[in-house]
Amino acid sequence: MQKIALKIILIIFPFLIFSQDEKKLNKKEANAEVKRLTNLLEKIQSEKEELNNKLTIEYEKLLYEMDENNELKTKNGELIDELSKIQQVLVKENEKLNEFKNKLEENNIIIADYRLLINNDSIYIKTLNDSINDLNLEKIKNYIKNDSLRKINDTYFSTIKNLEDSLYLYINFNEIKLEEKHADIFKIVKKFYSSLELSDEENQKHYVEGNIIFDTSDFKKIIDNNCEYSKERVENLTSNYHSYIWIGLKNILSVKKNKEFTDVIVKTLYGIFETGSFENIELIRLKEKDGKLKVIKWSDVKLHKMFVSDYDGLDKFTEADFYKRVGQN
């Protein structure tokens, strides 16, 4: 029995010793594992802190950039407000500029009228000086300070003025008598020339705004279908550039009737932009058709007077140049 027990002890003892060794070994490994895990945890904690620091830095950068963006947005808003104010100022200044341009155009019209008057006066003075030369008064000019010369000049100019006044009164008196006798003829002739003119309101509107379309329907109603006239002249007087050449009836000089037609001699006044003004004698031939007077012919008789502007290149402006400019009838 003792032997059996001893055998059992001998068999079990190595196992007990092995079991104790195994326990010792597992504890050692566990300690090593704990140490490893502790080191790993410390490393993770360190990395976590480092990552948190980096995140904090990035977050602060992001906040800074957001502040900068907000500041830029504020500045942009201020710039937009300032730009809007500048645009409003520009609109007002543009309106003032347009008003100034309109006023300038009106002043240019007034200046052009004054220039024409001054030009006509200068041409008239030149004509008088030429007349003095024709009368061989060159020698008398050397004694211009002499009282007798001044009296001669005063008498000369007074005589010319009286002659012009008398001629003007005669023409007007003769025209009144003619109109009393030929009222229907005067009416159609005046209507003929007025159909080639713009009204004062239309003229002013054309100078200010431009693009006034000339209505030639009245002109076409007055003339016969086979009327002889210069289409070129009508085109010049009524086209888009009608403000550069214009016409007006000045006087009706004579009316001559026969069995077939009536010839009316008139004096007209033409104005050509930056060229001058011109008095032209013209023929209007009328004929009754279907109970109505119609213009069957419109032609030139002769150029009566020229008041040429003093622009360069106009010193040798001739009658032929005038008819070429307005259109030969």
Q: What digits encode the pLDDT tens for the residues 190-214?
A: 999 999 988 767 767 766 776 777 8
- Banded model confidence at residue 103, pLDDT cuts 50, 70, 90: confident
What pLDDT does residue 156 have?
Answer: 44
Q: Is the pLDDT of residue 148 over 60?
A: no
Residues, the chain:
329
Instruction: Please check whether residue 105 is in contact with residue 207, taking contact to mean a CB–CB distance below 8 angstroms.
Output: yes
Instruction: Please check whether residue 278 is in contact with residue 269, taking contact to mean a CB–CB distance below 8 angstroms.
Output: yes
Q: How many CB atoms lie within 10 A of CB 250?
A: 15
Ranges 8-12, 99-103, 289-293, 317-321: which has the least confidence:
8-12
Q: Which residue has the tokens 């830029």?
A: 72
- Banded model confidence at residue 74, pLDDT cuts 50, 70, 90: confident
pTM above 0.95, yes or no: no
Instruction: Please check whether residue 232 is in contact with residue 255, taking contact to mean a CB–CB distance below 8 angstroms.
Output: no
Q: Is the pLDDT of residue 272 over 80?
A: yes
CATH class of the region 187-326: alpha beta
Pick 247 or 136 by higher pLDDT: 247
Contacts of residue 294, defined as CB under 8 A and 6 or more positions apart, other chains included, come to 222, 223, 224, 227, 286, 287, 288
Pick 207 or 51 by higher pLDDT: 51
